Amino acid sequence: MWFHLAHALSVFWFWIGATQAANTTSFATIDRNGWPRAQTSEADFDKASRAEVLMFSKVLLNTEGLGAENLKQCLNVKSVE
């Protein structure tokens, strides 16, 4: 049990170190040049983020009925397991 706890903590600290080593502004900055409105406020950014999430949801819903072979072809991946 102690081994599992130590392993989990080491993975957690490694993840924290990796995210801190990366430029943290790159996680908050997304290229939304295709968005029709200027994002001059936090509310504008939130609205664009919500629209982006809704589009991801729409695509996910459209691919839900696909079989494994069609999904692999649609996503251009080797495996969908």
Is residue 1 assigned to a domain?
Answer: no
DSSP string of 13-77, one letter each residue: HHHHHHHHHS-THHHH----TTSSS---SHHHHHHHHHHHHHHHHHHHHHHTT--HHHHHHHHT-
Q: What is the number of structural domains in the chain?
A: 1
| Measured distance CA(44)–CA(29) in Å, rounded | 14
| Measured distance CA(38)–CA(69) in Å, rounded | 40
Is residue 54 assigned to a domain?
Answer: yes
- Domain coverage including residue 62: 42-81
Is residue 19 assigned to a domain?
Answer: no
Is residue 12 assigned to a domain?
Answer: no
| Measured distance CA(31)–CA(54) in Å, rounded | 17
Does the pLDDT of residue 69 top 80, yes or no?
yes
Is residue 73 assigned to a domain?
Answer: yes
What is this structure's pTM?
Answer: 0.45
User: What tens digit of pLDDT does each residue of 9-50 get?
Assistant: 566 656 566 555 555 554 445 566 777 777 788 888 888 888
Is residue 64 assigned to a domain?
Answer: yes
